[in-house]
């Protein structure tokens, strides 16, 4: 059940930005291409969308997304939620993190970090189901592997070698983005099905 002290009442949920296009219009102009790159590149798997659509129709599943426009995880993750919502009919409301610190405070990563995107799922009676933070577990594992392989051997002091290592790391994680978008939906589906079975 949603905590009776939660700031996310049905009325508050309804105040969120109601569409991806509205979110995009409110984002900084130089950040919009980052969102659109992931939005255009992502086509959710039909079987995952069918499963989410069934949960929306049977249980009224809806999502609240907390994000910012400067974060690479949000650039990749928020368009995934937009596509899921559009394809399945799942209502999605978007909240800018720094303008909604009270909501963010309820869903801190490890009770401490304001990690985004954070996606909170509710059923049709506004009962809390589960929340997803930042990126899928597969991405966390791969990023740890890439940090060990690329960043840890690099010099710790700033300079050309460290800059080159950072650039190589960014390229390596960017190459994984397509799979991570799919993994996001797969992980969300599995968790929702587990909560609602």
Look at residue 161 and tell me if it is in a domain.
Answer: no
Query: Which residue in this structure is represented by tokens 């051997």?
Result: 153
Tokens (6 digits) for 127:
């009962």
Tens-place pLDDT, residues 15-68: 999 999 999 999 999 999 999 999 999 999 999 999 999 999 999 999 999 999
Query: Which residue in this structure is represented by tokens 């050309």?
Result: 160
CB 118 within 8 A of CB 133: yes
Mean of pLDDT values over 170-174: 93
The residues that bridge with 122 in the sheet, in sequence order, are: 62, 128
Look at residue 157 and tell me if it is in a domain.
Answer: no
Best CA proximity match to 97, nearest among 109, 85, 83: 109
Q: What distances in angstroms separate CA 73 from CA 45, 122, 143, 169, one per listed residue?
A: 20, 22, 12, 15
Look at residue 167 and tell me if it is in a domain.
Answer: no
Look at residue 145 and tell me if it is in a domain.
Answer: no
**Separation CA 54–CA 88 (nearest Å):** 8
Q: Which domain holds residue 54?
A: 10-135+183-196
Report the number of distinct structural domains present in the chain.
1
- Burial (CB < 10 A; 0-12, 13-18, 19+), residue 148, is exposed
Look at residue 78 and tell me if it is in a domain.
Answer: yes
Q: Is 129 left (phi over 0), alpha (psi -120 to 50) or beta?
A: alpha
Look at residue 192 and tell me if it is in a domain.
Answer: yes
What is the CATH classification number for the domain harbouring 117? 3.40.30.10
Residue 95 pLDDT exceeds 90 = yes
**Looking at residue 197, what is its pLDDT?**
83
pTM for this one? 0.93
CB 90 within 8 A of CB 56: yes
Tens-place pLDDT, residues 107-124: 999 999 999 999 999 999
Tokens (6 digits) for 28:
């900084």
**Separation CA 137–CA 187 (nearest Å):** 8
Residue 1 pLDDT exceeds 80 = no
Best CA proximity match to 62, nearest among 41, 35, 93: 93
**Mean pLDDT of the chain, nearest integer:** 95
**Looking at residue 2, what is its pLDDT?**
60
Look at residue 160 and tell me if it is in a domain.
Answer: no
Look at residue 17 and tell me if it is in a domain.
Answer: yes
């Amino acid at each position: 059940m949603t905590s009776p002290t939660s700031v996310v009442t049905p009325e508050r949920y309804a105040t969120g930005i109601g569409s991806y296009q509205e979110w995009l219009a409110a984002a900084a102009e130089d950040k919009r291409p980052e969102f659109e790159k992931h939005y255009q590149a992502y086509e959710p798997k039909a079987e995952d969308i069918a499963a989410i659509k069934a949960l929306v129709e049977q249980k009224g599943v809806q999502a609240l997304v907390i994000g910012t426009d400067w974060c690479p995880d949000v650039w990749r993750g928020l368009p995934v939620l937009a596509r899921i919502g559009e394809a399945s009919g799942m209502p999605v409301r978007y909240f800018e993190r720094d303008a909604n610190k009270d909501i963010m405070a309820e869903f801190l990563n490890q009770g401490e970090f304001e990690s985004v995107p954070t996606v909170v799922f509710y059923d049709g009676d506004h009962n809390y189901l589960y929340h997803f933070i930042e990126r899928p577990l597969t991405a966390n594992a791969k990023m740890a592997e890439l940090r060990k392989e690329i960043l840890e051997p690099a010099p710790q002091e700033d300079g050309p070698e460290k800059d080159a290592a950072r650039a190589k790391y960014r390229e390596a994680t960017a190459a994984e983005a397509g799979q991570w978008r799919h993994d996001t939906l797969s992980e969300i589906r599995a968790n929702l099905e587990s909560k609602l079975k």
